[in-house]
Amino acid sequence: MRYQVRQVTDYSYARPVVFAQHVLRIVPVDRPGQTVSHCDITITPSPAMRRDDTDFFGNRRIFLDFDHPHRALTIEMRADITVAGTSRPLPGMDPPWERVRETAFASADMSPSSPVHALFPSTYVPRDPMIRAYASASFPPGRPVLEAAFDLAKRIRDDFTYAPGATDTSTPAAKAFAMRRGVCQDFTHIMISGLRGLGLPAAYVSGFLRTIPPAGKPRLEGADATHAWVSLWCGPELGWWGLDPTNGLIVGEDHIVLAIGRDFVDVAPNGGVVIAAGDHDIAVAVDVKPLGA
Amino acid sequence: MTFRSQRTTDHRAERILAMLARYQPVPGVYDEILDEKGEPREHWKPVLATLADLGPRELEKRFSGADRYMRDSGVYYRVYDDPKSGERAWPLAHLPLVIAPDEWKALSEGLRERAELLEIVLKDLFGPADLVRDGLVPGATIAGSPDFLRPLVGTPPRGGSHLLYYAVDVGRGPDGRWWVLGDRAQAPSGAGYALQNRLAMARSLPEIYRNLPVERLAGFFQSLRSEFSSHAAATNSRVAVLTPGPLNETYFEHAFLARYLGFLLAEGADLTVRDDTLYVRTVSGLKKLEMVWRRLDADFADPLELNPRSQLGVAGLVHAIRSGKVTLANALGSGVLEARSLLAFLPSVARARLGRDLAIPHVATWWCGQPLERGAVIADLESFVIAPAFTQTIPGLLDDGAVLASSLSPEHRLRLAEEIRLRGSDFVAQEVVKLSTMPVWNDGYLEPRPFILRLFLARVGDGWEVMPGGFCRIGDRVDARAVTMQRDGRSADVCVLAEGPVAETTLLPTPDKIELRRSTSSLPSRAADNLFWLARYMERAEGTLRLLRALGDQVGSGETTGPDMLKRLVDLLVTWEALPKDTVLTEPQAVAAAVLHGRAPGGLLSLARAAHNAASVIRDRFSPDAWKTINDMVHLAEGDKRMEAGALDRVETGLRLAAVFSGLTQENMNQLIGWRFLKIGKRIERALAICRFGRNFGDARSGTAGLDLLLALADSQITYRRRYVMIAARAPVLDLVVLDPNNPRSVAFQVERIADHLAHLPDHAADGRLNVPEKLIARTRVDLQTADAHTLDGRQILAIEQRLMAISDEVSERYFTHRDGANPVGAAASDLF
């Protein structure tokens, strides 16, 4: 499926910002099953310095310095992206979850796609015995890993209320878990916490969903904003699989990957240090148009 | 003669026996001082003899001298979870650990070898990761470390070495061998404390340090200084010590080592990265830096690429490193060596990469991420020490870090086993080590206590130099598996004995490589900012106290104008925010108590605390006595005696403290640039106060009573009485307190001094052109010189006041914030997304 994606981020500041350093992770890149044919970034006002690089996990980063007082900043990204549909593994192809864990612990791979990077607690996903206890109901001994994780994703969709505004980007998983409410970021952190608690390698994916559903299908939650979901390593044969706990499904060609990391920190679309006396406000608008296959 | 000598020896032997009367080594544990037969070991004998000769009474005296030295030098460490955020006095154990020459030789050689191996490991892990690919180290044992910093992968450090300064904890096992207990590669602390311990002990027991061939520590620091400075040779810049700040537990050491080595003590807020270069903000603009001794955990070093929540780091630092513009000791990511999981695999790495076993073994360790090891550990949990594989603690499970599994409750052990079963990757099991014991002094007797010895190594050229001494931490209990300075425990000096005589070394500047320091040109802006505000707060406090004194005098003198003046003084205190708006008090003691101890922002409590905060950041820049005076001021305001009675006496105490502080900064501080900022702050604040007093009590409606009060507030009664033998009259009083440049309390005097200080600040134009603050002060001078005392009114004084405030703003702008293309520090809020 081909998509045209447009993301506009508007910053507005109560008092002029004298100096600011930003790091943006808003550029989609080619990945297995995904091709970016075209990507444009427009930044207003223009920065004093711009530097682009690629981080450890292969995400594109843009570093910006602003050294002139400004009260607003607009960053627009437009991209044409093609997502290839992948066929889900047949039942029984995925190994028992315990074996996945042992394989990950023993991995001799340190490359960015190795499961070892997604095994451990991280800033937003500390150890949490409560979440693990919740997750373990989907993981009886010997259950195939993807089947178990799919079950967990569906349980999260069913047990939790999608409630924009209930949390913000700094909400820890434990809090959203206790409230049983949140948005895609919270559900993703909760699911990652549960999986890692069981020793399974789970990564955080940020990206987009198609805005208008295909005819006859319901509109997915999170389509008008930057979305997030889980990527689970299912052993060396199957590799990484996307699971969307917000919508309770295994990721197919409706999901467009922007960045991958251990949790939100690694993929935060807008990071940086802004020296300002006053408050700030950020508004993000996302539009994902299918252009056909 | 022979007879006498014999008697001395007998006497000595008796005394040694007496000291050792309660010394009972623990069975199955190596003792440093007594051998298996209970006889003193050879290398301890001279020390015991010296102690015996001095005798218990003299020793007690010496020991309290050592403690006094520690207190006087302000040695402290901070305890994080202390509710009062307490600084603790340094707990010094009074007997040194003595290490024999041959033993030291073997130990230090073994540690050099280990440092070399660890460098190989770091190079590999942040490079090709062959150790993982070859199956020598499981990837998860590295990936699990919070210090495996992915942004640094593939970035070889400038100069090629990750590890420049390394510390290692060792202990001696029952077999008499030294064992490595853990590696410290992140930002090892202790060397500065070791040096302090040495200084204290050498003063209190000079007999030992003079008569025995004790290796000196200074040579090590000399090498370290030359080596670090050589990394900054390209720009001839100073080496910076990057500290998390005064709230860090070992901040004292950061400040002490910076001063001792002539390095620049800097916090993240002092530094900035422009393009790809690291700079320090100074009062003379941005200065390049290319060598940083990092005492900050790596994750906090750069909010752009590492922990985005860090407010302690420098945005862009990782980029400057990647661009090869700066060297860090140690390279970001070196902390990965502290992962205990790595210990399980180092022996095979040594065999594979060095072709031999390490000479000094480390404590046997098993990583529970492997199924076989995990099974064995769970089956026999009680015989192991269980520790977090990567972190200090695991909340809810290993809250105190490493723990002897047998010491846990059965329920706790069960939970631990279950956790290991699910996430074995996060745990290691280690063999239980029985540490050797050394003597501590207790009430005239020696008693055995277990200890851990931290040793320090610095990379010098192609090799490693080991500090011939160390930081010895002594446990209070005999099971000392988990001694840290955060808990109870004392520390001792470590005397390494040399084979031959020891050359005197001192750390006076050496001619090689080290440039003379120009303290004036590299004063960090933040330090200047804090000196400026420290002075302003202290002077403001003095002004407030003077108002209170005047208030008391109104009653004491029995003058009839009382009620009106009282009310106006109280009103002024309200205007100064020293009292809350709705204050109706008029009874002087009550008012004084409210101003001294109340919470109003202009009250003494707030001012003293603000001064304390400003001072705590720059403690290394003025004398311990001045610091103590500020503390006394805080205590005065916080004091438990907050009752009204005696409040006016406390005002007098406060004024004395203010005078002491003023005198100390005048007499005991180097009159360099920092001092000038302190003085400018003080002069501006004083001038502002006199202006405000003048407007309030020198106006037409105030009359004689007001003018008398004004003279008192400006501390100018005596001069006035000497000059004019008459009651206070408006024009002469205003002339004296506002216009007369010869009266040290007058506004004009302050302005003259400010002008002089400004002329001595760094970017004073050579061609005589004035900068903005100078222009403002010049105009103020002229206004004061040309004003007429007879027509001087409140409006004119207010104009001077406003000009002074503008000067304060301009000085801040010009020297502290670098607004021209730079970001402001301190006052402005820093928002992190």
Residues B111-141 pLDDT 10s = 999 999 999 999 999 999 999 999 999 999 9
Residue of chain A whose alpha carbon sits nearest to that of B153: A56
Residue A67 distance to chain B (closest CA, Å): 6
Spatial distance between the Cα atoms of B362 and B359, rounded to a whole number of angstroms: 10
User: Would you call the peptide bond into A45 cis, given omega within 30 degrees of 0 as the criterion?
Assistant: yes
Average pLDDT of every residue of chain A: 91
For residue B823, pLDDT beyond 50: no
Those of residues 105-134 in B touching chain A at CB distance below 8 A are: 125, 129, 132-134
Backbone angles phi, psi at B214, to 5 degrees: -85, 125
Contact B319 A63 (CB under 8 A): yes
Beta-bridge mates of residue A49: A65
- On chain B, the residues whose CB falls within 8 A of the CB of A57 are 150
Averaged pLDDT for residues B237-255: 89
For residue B832, pLDDT beyond 80: no
Those of residues 254-273 in A touching chain B at CB distance below 8 A are: 265, 268, 270-273
**Substitution target from B125, B153, B831 for chain A, most A beta carbons within 10 A:** B831
Averaged pLDDT for residues B780-804: 93
- On chain A, the residues whose CB falls within 8 A of the CB of B125 are 110
Q: What is the pLDDT of residues A72-98, one digit of tens each?
A: 999 999 999 999 877 777 777 889 999
For residue B707, pLDDT beyond 80: yes
- On chain A, the residues whose CB falls within 8 A of the CB of B422 are 132, 197-199
For residue B323, pLDDT beyond 70: yes
Query: Is any Cβ of chain B less than 8 angstroms from the Cβ of A197?
Result: yes
The predicted pLDDT at position B331 comes to 97
Average pLDDT of every residue of chain B: 87
Q: Which of B304, B309, B824 sits opposite A272 (nearest CB)?
A: B304
Contact B304 A271 (CB under 8 A): yes
The predicted pLDDT at position B520 comes to 46
Averaged pLDDT for residues B768-785: 90
Q: Where does the pLDDT of residue A221 fall: very low under 50, low under 70, confident under 90, or very high at 90 and above? A: low
Q: Which of B394, B426, B823 sits opposite A275 (nearest CB)?
A: B823
Contact B132 A108 (CB under 8 A): yes
Sign of dihedral through CA atoms B129, B130, B132, B137? negative
% of chain B at pLDDT higher than 70? 89
Averaged pLDDT for residues B777-785: 94
Choose the weakest-confidence range: B140-154, B477-491, B542-556, B766-780: B477-491
- On chain B, the residues whose CB falls within 8 A of the CB of A275 are 823-824, 828, 830-831
Averaged pLDDT for residues B172-188: 94
> Is the pTM higher than 0.95?
no
- On chain A, the residues whose CB falls within 8 A of the CB of B143 are 110, 114, 116-117, 119-120
For residue A149, pLDDT beyond 90: yes
Contact B395 A127 (CB under 8 A): yes
The predicted pLDDT at position A175 comes to 93
Those of residues 366-425 in B touching chain A at CB distance below 8 A are: 369-371, 390, 394-396, 422-425
Choose the weakest-confidence range: B115-119, B226-230, B378-382, B550-554: B550-554
- On chain B, the residues whose CB falls within 8 A of the CB of A272 are 303-304, 315, 832-833
% of chain B at pLDDT higher than 90? 61
For residue A158, pLDDT beyond 80: yes
Q: Where does the pLDDT of residue B524 fall: very low under 50, low under 70, confident under 90, or very high at 90 and above? A: confident
| A78-82, B23-27, B70-74: which is most confident | A78-82
DSSP letter at B312?
S
Query: Is any Cβ of chain A less than 8 angstroms from the Cβ of B821?
Result: yes
- On chain B, the residues whose CB falls within 8 A of the CB of A197 are 422-423
| 3-class DSSP state of B246 | coil
Q: What is the pLDDT of residues B478-499, one digit of tens each?
A: 654 444 444 557 899 999 999 8
Query: Is any Cβ of chain A less than 8 angstroms from the Cβ of B268?
Result: no
CB B62 within 8 A of CB B69: no
Averaged pLDDT for residues B197-209: 92
Residue B489 distance to chain A (closest CA, Å): 32
The predicted pLDDT at position B220 comes to 95
Contact A105 B822 (CB under 8 A): no
Query: Is any Cβ of chain A less than 8 angstroms from the Cβ of B138?
Result: yes
The predicted pLDDT at position B486 comes to 45
Residue B610 distance to chain A (closest CA, Å): 20
- On chain A, the residues whose CB falls within 8 A of the CB of B819 are 18
The predicted pLDDT at position B1 comes to 40
- On chain B, the residues whose CB falls within 8 A of the CB of A55 are 150-151
For residue B827, pLDDT beyond 70: no
Query: Is any Cβ of chain B less than 8 angstroms from the Cβ of A151?
Result: no
Averaged pLDDT for residues B639-643: 70
For residue B822, pLDDT beyond 60: no
Q: What is the pLDDT of residues B46-60, one digit of tens each?
A: 999 999 999 999 999
The predicted pLDDT at position B480 comes to 46
- Give the CA-trace dihedral at A9, A10, A11, A15, to 10 degrees: 170
Contact B823 A106 (CB under 8 A): no
